[in-house]
Amino acid sequence: MAPQLHQFHTNFSNADAVSQQMTLIQRTLRDAGVTGNIYTVEARGQSATTTLRWDPASPPLMSDRDWILIHHSHGNPHLHSVLSTKANCALVYHNVTPPEFFAHDPYLADLCRLGRDQLKLLQPRIKAAFTVSQYNAEELKAAGFTVNGLLPLIDIKNFPALDAKIKVGAKEKFNFLFIGKLAPHKSQALIVETFAHFVRFCPEAHLTLVGREDPFYGRYVSLLVKRWGLSRQVTLLGPLDIDALREQYQKADAFLCLSQHEGFCVPIIEAMSMKLPIFSSVAAGLQETLGKSGIQLHTRSPETIATTIAATVSDPSWKEKMLSTQAKRMSEVTTSQEPGLITAALLPLLE
């Protein structure tokens, strides 16, 4: 029997970047004639049909010619079980959010701490290591790994380029969008405060935040919206499927990201792909994802960010200027996200 390449991540849902990459890898390898399953301990939503459950007490049988690609984005309570298989182990490191962002949730903070500690446990077993960004690669190298290369993370054809809406002056209704889990490191509270200042410039502006909620932080953001009297102008949506996401990108006039930590930030690329101007902080891996594109924010002051955005969109040519730089960046990204890179990186493992 030909060797198989399986994948594992502790949880799987159709909405997150890790799961989408796992699906992309599985599909690309299948097209190249390589089979393999996606294993997870916790499948959310409809994803149970595309994954197989990993039973930690009774791991699936694999041969020593098979490979298992372990996706690592936080602590994995079942790592010993995964490493107990006969299969050769490879790693895809998606970065682990620093635990200090989860001081309000000891379980999550411990999970993040465990994620970083487990790199030591993984290191002697890993025969090939991959990341999704240079930023993540540097972290992995610092942890003692040899990084074999970068793997594409997104299927860009899911977000086809649109004809850019031309809206200048922004005195009319102006829609901001951010997509990402409502969590402290994504700084949606700062987005709301920035928006509250921006509303003085454009009273009919609207903000949409998409993503599942951390219950504590989600409650904070909801109360912040109410406190500023913005309930009519801020919409908090839960996680959305790809069609609904595309609709949100189409409705928006600008993408606003103020995250303090991102390993890559897929929504930035999706926004670029759909010709949405980007205003973004440059923390952690964001600078690499943006390249030279977008208005890059170096302040955490909501008032200063709001005035910068207002000054930018007051220029009649703002959209053309921003989109032309994003188009250049997008062509670089498209090359790095070419599905052929998946087979080029992974097929040699099976030879």
Size (the chain), residues? 351
Single out the residue of 32, 168, 171, 228 in contact with other proteins (rule: CB under 8 A): 228
Question: 150 - beta bridge partners?
Answer: 131
* Cα–Cα distance, 265 to 23 (Å, whole number): 18
From 284, 71, 286, 255, select the one nearest 179 (Cα to Cα).
255
* Cα–Cα distance, 351 to 347 (Å, whole number): 7
Amino acid at 294: G
Please give the residues from 190 up to 209 whose contact with other proteins meets the rule CB under 8 A: 196-201
Q: Does residue 110 touch other proteins according to CB under 8 A?
A: no
From 165, 169, 166, select the one nearest 309 (Cα to Cα).
169
Cβ atoms within 10 A of the Cβ of 81, count? 17
Angle at 89 between CA 88 and CA 92, to 5 degrees: 145
Q: Does residue 226 touch other proteins according to CB under 8 A?
A: yes
Single out the residue of 31, 117, 241, 315 in contact with other proteins (rule: CB under 8 A): 315
With respect to other proteins, which residue has the nearer C-beta, 82 or 323? 323
Q: Kindly write out the interface string for residues 252-291 of this chain, putting x where it contacts other proteins by CB under 8 A and - elsewhere.
A: ----------------------------------------
Which residues 6+ apart lie within 8 Å of 217 measured at CB? 104, 182, 183, 184, 188, 189
Applying CB under 8 A, the span of 6-14, 39-47, 113-121, 293-301 interacting with other proteins comes to: 293-301
Applying CB under 8 A, the span of 21-29, 67-75, 251-259, 294-302 interacting with other proteins comes to: 294-302
With respect to other proteins, which residue has the nearer C-beta, 155 or 303? 303
Residue 322 CB, shortest distance to other proteins, in Å, is 8
* Cα–Cα distance, 100 to 123 (Å, whole number): 24
Q: Does residue 30 touch other proteins according to CB under 8 A?
A: no
Applying CB under 8 A, the span of 32-40, 41-49, 216-224, 250-258 interacting with other proteins comes to: 216-224
Residue 220 CB, shortest distance to other proteins, in Å, is 4
Widest CA span in the chain: 66
Please give the residues from 64 up to 103 whose contact with other proteins meets the rule CB under 8 A: 103
> How far is the CA of 64 from the CAs of 5, 32, 344, in angstroms?
11, 21, 22
Q: Does residue 325 touch other proteins according to CB under 8 A?
A: yes
Residues that bind other proteins (CB under 8 A): 103-104, 184, 189, 196-201, 215-217, 219-220, 223-224, 226-229, 292-299, 301, 303-308, 310-312, 314-315, 321, 324-325, 328
